[in-house]
Amino acid sequence: MEEEVFSILKSFPPQTKYLAAVSGGADSMAMLSALSAVVNKDALFCLHVNHNIRTAQESGADAEFVRDFCEKRKIACHVETIPSGKIASYAKSRGVGIEAAARHFRRKALLEEAARLGADTRVLIAHTKDDLLETALMRILRGCGPAGLSAMPAENGIILRPLLSMTRAGVIAYLTENNIPWREDLSNNDEKFLRNKIRGRLVPLLNESFPSWKEGIGAMAQTQSIAAQFIASEAKSRVLWESRTDAKTQGNPELFTNEKNFFTQPLIIREEAVFQGINIFSSLCDPKSGHGSSKIKSIKRAVVRKFCAGNFVAESSAAAGCVNAADLGPVRIRRKKGKVLLEIISQ
């Protein structure tokens, strides 16, 4: 475990600071312990996020556990506490699940703490090989495209995942061998969450009936990573999005691209271009207006495909069988006067 973590970190310069996201669970405690063995204590920091979505007794005990462990190891620790009810309110207003809302606040806290620590900071997250495989299964069931089916990267910007080659069984073995305690989150057994249902039902079935499924899913993810990179590059070069915010758009941002060029591209390029456009559009929106990127729900590829599957004709509004507009959460994509537009839906 420690050798694996060190192999990920050894290429970074000596002044690098490492901020570990630690829930108190087995994976993050193993990562923190391994980090404390291979990283100078002055360069190691811990952040625990108390989401306040379980009982105060449970979540408070997790926070105290992480704080005490860090104190004994002389690791600087910060506990970020989200006000009770805030995550549930966010999830309801954005149309996302509690887990997705919690991830939003956790990521926000991590990036803010990393910014406070300085430009040389890296954020470490304890995703394991099991998490990678479970995520792949979730995305297959949800019908994700190549980007969604890509392998989880070990490094993505300032985010590092040093345990991706480690299994959950390996993590438990390391903790047991080194007498390192950890906390069990009872919500991990709640099958109302898709990941828990996959972990508790689908994975045991696959292990029993398809012994080589992990190698197969891993190979698929690697192939999809290559495909996704190529498709993304092609879409970016072939479909150019322009932005406009003026009186005609009532001060709201609008993104557009040439309709003829768009609809003469291969279907997969059109779809990827739409997702790229949504990302650009989201970054243009003013969060104070309530139309920021966090307002856009998880968009199903099938909805995007219905719009993208049309053909270009001189009079697009008269194109038989074409979907000329589609609502994507608070954003609409439509054809208009030779353009494909992304715009805010009027409330």
pLDDT tens across 250-284, in order?
667 889 999 999 999 999 999 999 999 988 887 77
Same domain, 119 and 8: yes
State which of 204, 232, 260 marks the end of a domain: 232
Please classify residue 39 by burial: count the beta carbons closer than 10 Å to its beta carbon, then call 0-12 exposed, 13-18 middle and 19+ buried. Answer: buried
What is the number of other CB atoms lying within 10 angstroms of the CB of residue 304?
A: 21
Q: Give this prediction's pTM.
A: 0.80
Domain range enclosing 24: 2-126+162-189
Pairing of strands 17-21, 121-124: parallel
Same domain, 196 and 324: no
Asked if 130 contacts 211 with a C-beta cutoff of 8 angstroms, the reply is no
Helix or strand holding residue 335 (H, E):
strand 331-336
Query: What type of residue sits at position 235?
Result: A
Q: CA-based angle 247:249:253, to the nearest 5?
A: 115
Can you give the C-alpha Rg of the chain in angstroms? 23
Collapsing DSSP to helix, strand or coil, 7 comes out as helix
Same domain, 277 and 331: yes
Same domain, 91 and 132: no
Same domain, 132 and 122: no
Asked if 48 contacts 24 with a C-beta cutoff of 8 angstroms, the reply is yes
Give which of 54, 21, 290 is closest to 186, Cα–Cα: 54
Q: Is pLDDT larger for residue 227 or for residue 95?
A: 227
Q: CA-based angle 329:331:336, to the nearest 5?
A: 140
The string of pLDDT tens digits covering residues 150-161 is 888 899 999 999
Q: How confident is the model at residue 292 (pLDDT cuts 50, 70, 90)?
A: very low
Percent of the chain at pLDDT above 70? 91
Same domain, 9 and 83: yes
Same domain, 166 and 22: yes
Same domain, 169 and 37: yes
Collapsing DSSP to helix, strand or coil, 295 comes out as helix
Q: How confident is the model at residue 90 (pLDDT cuts 50, 70, 90)?
A: confident
Same domain, 65 and 207: no
Same domain, 284 and 204: no
Same domain, 166 and 221: no
In whole numbers, what is the pLDDT of the chain averaged over residues? 87
Q: CA-based angle 302:305:309, to the nearest 5?
A: 145
Tokens for 274?
């739409």
The string of pLDDT tens digits covering residues 159-211 is 999 999 999 999 999 999 999 999 987 777 778 788 899 999 999 999 999 99
Give whole-number Cα distances, 245 to 45, 256, 340, in Å.
42, 11, 16
CATH code for position 9:
3.40.50.620
Tokens for 103?
């991830």
Domain count, the chain: 3
Same domain, 168 and 306: no
Lowest mean pLDDT among 53-57, 120-124, 213-217, 313-317: 313-317
